[in-house]
Structure 1
């Protein structure tokens, strides 16, 4: 029995090390320093001299189209190097983890991309009127975070990035997701064919739905964002229906599917931190999650691009501070 116990500990330790070692992390706080928006604070209570730090949290979540690895190449349909952030969402979670607002940023938004530090010690140049997703393509997670903070004035507390294989693996690990679509989809580029109606999708189908654009009426990125937001809620619904956060075996299956495809900031770069973060959100449901898109209008310089619609966009970001 003692031998079995020791072997069990060794196996558990190896599994923890394996999953922990899978996670890629970026020290965004150190790279950006103090030149960032202030952390949110609460209104001071009666008798208090200063406002207290808020426990609300803002997380930048990016979906990367990295082609690294055989599975990403298969799912992405290409073998090019590099990656883009074709999906960008800011998750604002309240202080007790019971409600959330998810704000999508269209990848075609023209923004001012600030000067960003590079790993080799250099810096990128500030550029005006460039597509939002060029920040990640040029300067990786650090530049993506700095660009979002610059355009919104909202401090990002954490960063999460998942690639094609990780997203598909996550959906499969939770047993698929159920969505309802209003029109037939036939998109060769995202390898997706679906009739209008309600479907339970596996990981590869869900990835195709998250990526589809040309199979939609008008081929709009904004229409694609609506499907991505529906997938977010479907995932929350499916996770709530399982014992994911209380069943170690199920949790391991999800962690094994996701960690190898995950990049985080250093505040979430261990299995312990990720599990603790997930468990802190166990009360969050799809019904308590509001999904919106940053208000935009066609760009005067290019009808195929958009710009923030002010003052509505500024008011939305203000609500997250």
Structure 2
């Protein structure tokens, strides 16, 4: 039995689709934990066992992890809480349930940066790494998917790209770093969940095919969208003010800023890309298949 948390999110939905295609042939049953089962397509609900509720709730994870051989663990974003509460406090009931039900293997979504000089002052990433340590203490075999920023974050910039030809961030324009598509993260997770010969605790870096800078991204967007796109660097204090304006918890907002500052200081640069850590989806392909339709949708309508 494989249990999938957050099955309707960006990564979870890709993972669920993949496992629906591959798990039955491997003799695996699937169970999902979801707040609102109506968000699952009818054809999916017919093929999985559904546990309704939050996977931060002790009663829910106690039911969900009973008889589980493996769990995909992903913390949903909750900007109303402090980073520690959003990660470790949320995960604590699950960690207890892992041990109580003797779950063998857990694959979790985490971040790059462990062992780097800035890891202890990286805001949300620091909180995520602390959660990894908490899960590891439960005694499960654990693989933390060590991820950089996602391509999909640029979907939040679709309106700005469409209307102004601009996307923003706080890192230096020529700062190269790994970026990854969520579908590739899901593919790595699926492989680990289905082939559980691994033991112990370790990270599994998921680095995308190459490092790119904001200037590289602007060039690629311009080529793929057929319209000029440029990068504007935003000051850190402006980012914090904007996040507070959106209603984020002040500690969570500061955690985002600290994470971004750490990335600008090399947080994601500590792992060498190899055949084992690279993933196939290029930013060019993702732009053509995902960002371009999002940017041009308003024009078409």
- Give the TM-score normalised by the residue count of structure 2: 0.28
Find the structure with the greater CA-based Rg.
1
- Give the TM-score normalised by the residue count of structure 1: 0.26
In proportion to residue count, which structure has more strand?
1
